[in-house]
Every structure is written in structure tokens, then in C-alpha cells.
Amino acid sequence: MTVIDLDLHQNTEKASTPPALQLDGVRHSYGRTVAVDGVSVSVAPGEVVCLLGPSGCGKTTMLRIAAGLEALQDGEIRLAGTMVAGPGVDVPPERRGVGLVFQDYALFPHLDVLDNVAFGLTGWTAADRRSRAESVLALVGMNDYAAAFPHELSGGQQQRVALARALAPRPRVMLLDEPYSGLDARLRDRVRDEVLHILKASGSACLMVTHDSEEAMFMADRIAVMRAGRIVQEGTPVELYCEPVDAFVASFFGEVNRIEGVVHAGAVDTPIGNIPARGLPDGAPATVVVRPEAVTIQSWSSVFSDDPSGLVEQARLLGRTSLIHMTVTAPARPDRSVHLHARVPGVHLPKPGVRVRIQVDHAQTFVFAGG
């Protein structure tokens, strides 16, 4: 196998700019276990793309293959249009021009912050190394901690130092592996906001791995949802949230209500009403997926209504929203009921045993084949 030494920082501007990172038909197995099964994904310059999925779906393996930390078994990898891994080609990790931030940050405990950041600047003069390290530390807001050691820093500060170290060599591509998993919820919200602005300011393309859908929607321009080594759906956060291709994707972007039924006359008859089942044949089993925020609650009155009603079981305040558990019955079929969760803005806590009227937003209700 030929090992190629590349300068990936040369000017490659063309009329049509190639993706900063492109993985085509990547397959990878560990023994008989297929971890990645023919995955293709690309990241444009300045774009943030997220691989989202449950543990064991192959997303971290994809990241390690892109970095060169895992040998490519099948497929091709290109950086700025230049093949770095493929038939007869294997550019070593240190020559790929990518920055990698691990889950645990992997800072060197015996080096201070400045030396940690400057560590990867091989071939630079001492003055240039120091100047560049100080520059990226200022970018991430850590220039006042240049002389500190990793154990003296908080988790969020360590994360920013790790990011600065990855950015120091001016990589075309940044690879982030669950970068916020070690932070508590409040710190995670603040740090990921800072990191997003830093990434956009740097102009680097970024491929990020996470199992947190909210994190993916916050960070990514595009998301690729993975399951069992394959990409199930790829698109913008809005596309994936509003137009999921199946129940797995829909449920990955938050809690959902599921109602099983059968298609009849182009719709599924449920206790919350007839839900259109476009494209599904009559008699086919179907799963209706309803987001809790699609359920609107109104007070009950004695006035006749065709809207289904719900009997409140529990109501919990979750901060910005309230979550209401209820049993919903169809107006004409009191013998048919379904357990439903509704998520409403602010403080809305009806008492258990109270009956409420509900309406469902069909724009956040989806019907998929299969029971």
C-alpha cells in the first residue's frame, strides 16, 4: 500500500469547490460484526454536519476512519477533493490536516495550557508556535489561563483548550466526538454555544458525533441519522423534525405518542380522530406518531363538541413547559381510549381527574407503515 505525504493546506480554490470532507461507500467490520455498512456523507467548507444515533450505530467508527485512527476497509475518503484513503492510498493521520476533539479532551497533564495548544505545531519556529497558540487561546477565551495546567481547569475550560489545540494547525476539517458528554447540563448549554460560534469564526468544516438530538439540532447545518451502521435519513434539522421518514427518526427527536391502527379509506381511525395516511393502502397496519407538543388542551364545557376529550391523570411542571398525562377517548366511541402525553408552554397544571378537550396539530402528526 502506498503512503502519500500531502500538503493539504495549499490553495485549491476552483470554480466548483469540492467538499472539505467526503466519505463514499465506507464499510467497516469488527470480525463478523458490521459496524458501518456503505455510508456516504460529505461536509462543505464552513459547514457543521452531525452524525446522530444511538450507541453502537457506527457513528464514532466513521469519525475514527475519517481521522485515520481506524484503517479504511472499503470505500474512499477525500479531503478537499484529494483522496486520503482508498484503494492503494493511506495518508497517515498527522498528514490529513484534520483537528480531532475527543470525549475526554486528552490533554497532556504535564504540559501547561499554552504548551498543550502548541504541541501539534511541528515544523513551526518557537516564536511562531507561541504566537499561534496565544492567538487560538484568545479565540476560545482562554488566553488568561496559558500558564495553568489541565487539572486546574474546569470541564468547560478543558473543552475549550482541547478545541484550541485542534484549531491551532488551521485544519480544513474538525472532528468532534461527543465533545460535551462530560459536562453538566447547564455548562453544556453554554459551552456548545461558544463552540458553535468559534467553529463558524474559524471557517473549518466540522463533522460531529452525538447521541443527543437537541445538541445535533443546535449545532448542525445538516444531520445524518444513523441506525445499525447505515444512514436512515439526512437533511437539515427542520427537515428531519418536520418530515421524518419513519418512526425511529421521529422518536429520536424527542418523546412521541404512538397509536397503532389500520388504514381505512385513506386514514387511520384513532381516539384522537381520523389521521390521513397518504400513500398507504387500505387494510395496511400503521403506526401514528404524535409529538406531545402537537396536542393542544382546552378547558372542558358542556357545549357539544366533536373534539376528543382527555381525562387528566398527572401534570408535571418541567420548567419552560408542562407535561400532562391523560387518557383520551373518541367522542363517538367511549369504549376506545389511548394514553397520551401533551407538552404545553409555561405553567399549565390541571388537576388529576379533570376532563379537558384536546385538539391535535396534524403538521406534527405522522403515519408510518407497520404496527
Instruction: For 45-78, write each residue's pLDDT tens digit.
Output: 999 999 999 999 999 999 999 999 999 999 999 9
Tell me the Cα Rg of the chain: 25
3-state secondary structure of 131: helix
pLDDT of residue 181: 78
> Under a CB-based contact definition with an 8 Å cutoff, are residues 63 and 175 in contact?
yes
> Sorting pLDDT into bands at 50, 70 and 90, what band is 105?
confident
d(C-alpha 273, C-alpha 192), whole Å: 41
Q: Please, where in the chain does CATH 3.40.50.300 lie? A: 21-97+171-247
Cell numbers representing residue 350 in the block: 390541571
pLDDT in tens, 243-259: 999 999 999 998 999 99
Please report, to the nearest 10 degrees, the dihedral formed by the alpha carbons of residues 124, 126, 132, 135 taken in order. Answer: 180
CATH architecture of structural domain 255-369: Beta Barrel (2.40)
At 213, the amino acid letter reads S
Mean residue pLDDT of the chain comes to: 89
pLDDT at 44 > cutoff 70: yes
Starting at the edge strand found earlier in the chain, the sheet holding 98-101 runs: 98-101, 173-177, 205-210, 48-52, 222-227, 230-235
> Sorting pLDDT into bands at 50, 70 and 90, what band is 183?
confident
pLDDT of residue 172: 87
pTM (two decimals): 0.85
At 78, the amino acid letter reads R
Q: Please, where in the chain does CATH 2.40.50.100 lie? A: 255-369
3-state secondary structure of 42: strand
DSSP secondary-structure letter at 245?
Answer: S
> Under a CB-based contact definition with an 8 Å cutoff, are residues 23 and 66 in contact?
yes
> Under a CB-based contact definition with an 8 Å cutoff, are residues 33 and 93 in contact?
no
> Under a CB-based contact definition with an 8 Å cutoff, are residues 356 and 297 in contact?
yes
Q: What is the CATH number of domain 21-97+171-247?
A: 3.40.50.300
d(C-alpha 143, C-alpha 36), whole Å: 40
Mean pLDDT computed over 117-131: 91
d(C-alpha 164, C-alpha 101), whole Å: 10
> Residue 155: what are its φ and ψ, rounded to 5°?
-60, -40
